[in-house]
Each structure stands twice: as structure tokens, then as C-alpha cells.
Structure 1
């Protein structure tokens, strides 16, 4: 774990990258649906694979609560979606209208689960200094400290120095070519320019499958909560 206090400086917020939040109609999705979702979305909008600024968020369903326990993380188990469940696409502003036009009304097959995307609304990136990624690609035998050190080195390339960071346990994400290992990652006390840059460029490969995409979170419980949701 890295943990260093620093003062915060407000920075101007750019709007070149944003999130499109699509309504979803359907009943259920696989717990591990990253590959199926990426394949379905990029078949409709192949430009996502050609422009690294795009990011395909996995579909998030609330974790265990009220006696319900989240199923194990695999492609066979299912999550029940609600009217509040959204599909989110991170997109360059100049491509937002075209992406919404292509995807609104699209019918997707996610491992045998049928969903339909509805209308979308725009959401700007967050200025919040604590951000969280549910999946950042890792090496199969990489320890927590080695993972954090490698992440610190990668962030230096973007002029970002880790002050506070916490990662979760390994999670194997399905692909037909074999699983991709990943860890959840929370970064805290980032400057505004740093948090925006990370949301814009992501961390590591695989943004079209939801890897390395950062979202805002209110606190350090993000990693522990993420692990519970993936068990």
C-alpha cells in the first residue's frame, strides 16, 4: 500500500471525454460478461477497437444485500438487472452522437442473455480525487506489492505519482483464448488534473473489455466491496 498526504489543487475540467449511460431492458446478465459485452458492442461500433479513448464499462449490479448473496464470478451464473441498471460507454465527445445513434435500440446477446439498450444520457468525468477500477490487468503470479509497484511505474509515465492506493485479490476474466487475470484498484488523494487524466487514458490494456477504466468512489471500502461482488 502507498499512502502519502498532499494538498489538493483545483484544476479546470476538460470535456473531451465523457460517459454515455444507456438504459437497459432485459432480465439478467452473466456475472462475468466482459468478453460477451465487448464482442456485442464492438460488432455494432467497431471504431471502439480502433480508438483507445473509448472504454466499454462492464454492467454493474448492486452487491450482496438483504439476504441475497452475489453468485460466484463466472460466465454461467446470472445477475438480475433492474430498471436502474445502466450500460456505460466512455467516449470521445466528437463521437458521442454517432455512438448513441448506433447503440440506442441495439439488441445484445450476452452469453445467452438478451438485453436491449435504450436511450442514453451524458455524464461528465468526475473531479473526485478518489477513483476506482474494478479490473486492471495483472500477471498471474504477481504479488500485491509487485502489482502496486508496476502500477506506480506506469503512472509515472503520465506524470502521476501514487499517494494512496489499494488493490484487491486476483479475479480471472473469461475470454475464449484463456482467462485474463486482473485486480481491482483504488487510488486516492489525486489532484483534479490527475484524476481526469486517468479517467481519460485509463490504465493498462483492454479498455474495450472494461479493464483499466476508472470511476469515482467515496472511500477506501471500494476495493473490499469490489472483492465481495466478484466472489
Structure 2
């Protein structure tokens, strides 16, 4: 999806408030639908996460198992990615050594590294939740929020509808690829996110060097 004839973007600066943290993990398996469990477990250790609208927890991924679609394998390369205010980095030390219980699956948190945002022209979010149930409404929501909140008109590719379980019921959303994004807007979008439910992994953008590897997966 693209707009036509949007105004030329002038070079501007943006200083992110947040930063990415990458935690080492120890465990064997996790529930496939783990977003709400992971959120609840982390809030139990760091309750202030729920007080900051920008803080986010990226989807925890794993490999398929013989248990069907309900359980995933993890290994020593699996990482937990979180996005928090830079002023809270020292507070994140509290997580190191904690053992989380995700529906009976134990997950121990190890040390972490920090990573600043990169102002790539192409950024991707695995799941965007705008509150709309249809793709047509979702696209309108995205265009409206980009235009009014970020003053941005760029190209984007919307993926197939997905469902995410939450404490309040199922959430319906889509993956989203934005391309031709000016550097300062890229940083702002990574910093602020799009849509709702950041602690469930929604609306969290990460940079991509090219849209080519993503297009077959989300078209």
C-alpha cells in the first residue's frame, strides 16, 4: 500500500527515549502462544513495565516440536528482546537470574546486552493491533495513525490476519512492513510503536535492510 504525491520529507533529528535489551535464556520448551504468560511473568518481577506505555516485550520464538502447534523448543541461541526507557536499564538487572513459569515451562533469564535503534528505511512489526477486526479497517487505522500521529506517508505492506490470545480475549492483527521511511521517522516509529498492547509484543518495529525477504512471508 502506498500514498501518491506525499510532501518531501525534510532532514530532521529524533532522539529515542527507549533502547532494546537482548537477554540470554535457559530452558527447553515454551508454550507457542506465550505472549500473555510472558507479560504476566515479567510484570511480576518488574511491575513498572505496565506504567510506561512505550515499554515492550517482543514475541518469544522457538522451533516446532512433536507436540503439535502448542509447544515450541528453544535453545541457547534463543533470546528475549525487550524495549524499555534508557533510564530503566539499570533496573533491568533485577531480571538476571530470575526463573519464569510460562504455563509450567521454566525459563531462566541470563545477562543482557543493549542495542540502540538503527534508522533504517525499512522497518517491520510482527503483529500490529489497532483494535479493528477486518483488514480494510486495519489498513485505514494504519494510514490514519501514520498520517496524524507521525506526519508520515510511506509505502507499506500488510500481512495476513493473525490471532493473539490475551487476558481480555483474542486480538486480531497483521504484520506490517513500512518502507521508504525517513531516518528520523524510522527512529520515532521504533521508539513509540504503532497500535496497542506493546507488552504483548504488538506494534514493535525492528529494522530490515531490504523488504525482499519479508514480502513472500506477508503478502
Task: Quickly name the TM-score band, shorter chain normalised.
Answer: 0.7 to 0.9
Quick check: 208-217 or 4-13, which moved more? 4-13
Q: What corresponds to 2:48 in structure 1?
A: 47
| Counterpart residue number, 1:87 | 80
Aligned pairs for 1:74-153 (under 5 A) are: 77-99=70-92, 101-139=93-131, 141-143=133-135, 145-153=136-144
Cα separation, 1, equivalents of 2:199 and 2:122: 23
- Answer yes or no: is the 8 Å Cα contact 1:53–1:91 preserved in 2: yes
Inter-partner Cα distance in structure 2 for 1:226 and 1:36:
26
Q: Which structure's residues are more often strand, by fraction?
A: 2
CA contact (8 A) 1:107 1:116 kept: yes
Displacement, 1:159?
3.0
The answer to whether the 8 A contact 2:57-2:201 is kept is yes
Which moves more between the two structures, 170-179 or 114-123? 170-179
1:226 and 1:39 map into 2 onto residues whose CA distance is: 29
CA distance in 2, matches of 1:21, 1:45: 16
RMSD, aligned α-carbons: 2.7
Alpha carbons 1:28, 1:78 under 8 Å: kept: yes
User: Do structure 1's residue 2 and structure 2's residue 2 form an aligned pair?
Assistant: yes
Q: Deviations over 1:85-134 (max 9, x none)?
A: 110110111111112x1111111111221110100010011211111111
Instruction: Rate the CA distance shift 1:45–1:86 in 2: closer, same or farther, 3 A.
Output: same
Structure 2 partner of 1:27: 28
Q: TM-score, normalised by structure 1?
A: 0.83
Contact in 1 for aligned 2:130/2:195 (Cα 8 Å): no
**Partner residue, 1:165:** 156
Structure 2 residue runs of 5 or longer lacking an equivalent are none
Say which SS state the counterpart of residue 160 (structure 2) adopts: strand
Three-state SS of the structure 1 residue aligned to 2:196 is coil
- Structure 2 CA distance, aligned partners of 1:9 and 1:104? 42
- Paired with 1:25 and 1:32, the residues of 2 have a C-alpha distance of 19
**Aligned-pair CA distance for 1:140:** 5.7
Offset at residue 171 of structure 1 (A): 1.1
Unmatched 5+ stretches in structure 1: none
8 Å Cα contact 1:40/1:110 also seen in 2: yes
Count of matched residue positions in the alignment of Structure 1 and Structure 2: 217
- What TM-score, normalized by structure 2, do the two folds share? 0.88
CA offset digits 1:127-180 (Å, max 9, x no partner): 11111111111456412x432221111112333323210111111111243211
CA distance in 2, matches of 1:147, 1:140: 6
Contact kept in structure 2, 1:37 and 1:58, CA below 8 Å: no
Q: Which moved more, 1:3-12 or 1:189-198?
A: 3-12
Contact 1:9–1:192 (8 Å) recurs in 2? no
After alignment, is 26-35 or 13-22 more displaced? 13-22
Contact 1:162 1:187 in 2 (8 A): no
